[in-house]
Amino acid sequence: MVIYGVYIVSKSGGLIFNHDHNVPKIEVEKPFNYPLDIKLAYENKKIVVSFGQRDGINVGHVLSAVNGQPVTGRELEDGKDVLDMLENPENFPITLKFCRSKMTTNEKIFLASMFYPLFAIASQLSPEPRCSGIEVLEADTFRLYCYQTLTGVKFMIVAEPSQPGMEILTKKVYELYADYALKNPFYSLEMPIRCELFETHLQSLLEAVEKSGISNV
């Protein structure tokens, strides 16, 4: 059982803390013939799969190597343009290696800002008054658990669907936040959390839950 990450969003919708705990490294290397049956595009200084999928290669995956040579931007180590190579039938068959794209800090900030209005919409759509908003968001490969405090700060945990006790864990993370961030005289509300004690105790808490379960914490 795996916990993927922890996110804290301020009451105004800004990402003030994120911790990548155990993000799986997905890599797929396959030989290809001409023409490619997937479409590649150069976006955000990396070559990504923009259309089509096969053998574990999905849209959004990043091209990391060609014939064993690492790709930087859109070039190989010898300076050759990768996209130009892939348009030339003489370079085939060719072996391409793809990996899961790692989210940048800016992308995480953007996603946090997107979750904020979704949370508010869920509260307004509820047929019952005083709805707490999104508490669990479930997909086929993960679940996102959200706990909103009375002050509007949201604590989110992304974990495997089979990982139990995550609702309790969100409250445990809130307790650490109250003990090590809010009681820090150098921390200002709504600002990014940069507290070594908070991060150390959070890491220990996540590891303990993964090994022995939430009931033993």
Q: What percent of the chain has pLDDT over 90?
A: 51
201 has pLDDT over 90: yes
Q: Report pLDDT digits (tens) over 76-119.
A: 988 899 999 999 999 999 999 998 877 778 888 888 888 888 88
Predicted pLDDT at 139:
87
215 has pLDDT over 80: no
Question: Are the C-beta atoms of residues 176 and 206 closer than 8 Å to each other?
Answer: no
Looking from the CA of 80 toward its CB, the CA atoms found within 13 Å total 15
202 has pLDDT over 90: yes
Please give the Cα distance from 136 to 133 (Å, whole number).
9
23 has pLDDT over 80: no
122 has pLDDT over 90: no
Q: Report pLDDT digits (tens) over 43-78.
A: 888 899 999 888 888 888 999 999 999 999 889 988
Predicted pLDDT at 1:
63
Question: Are the C-beta atoms of residues 134 and 120 closer than 8 Å to each other?
Answer: no
Q: Report pLDDT digits (tens) over 167-182.
A: 999 999 999 999 999 9
Predicted pLDDT at 63:
92
How much is the mean pLDDT over the chain? 89
Residue 174 to residues 8, 15, 122, 127, 148: CA-CA distances in angstroms? 9, 15, 22, 28, 9
Predicted pLDDT at 112:
86
**Over residues 19-41, mean pLDDT:** 86
Domains of the chain, start order: 3-23+104-216 (3.30.450.70), 27-100 (2.30.42.40)
217 has pLDDT over 80: no
216 has pLDDT over 80: no
Please give the Cα distance from 38 to 51 (Å, whole number).
6
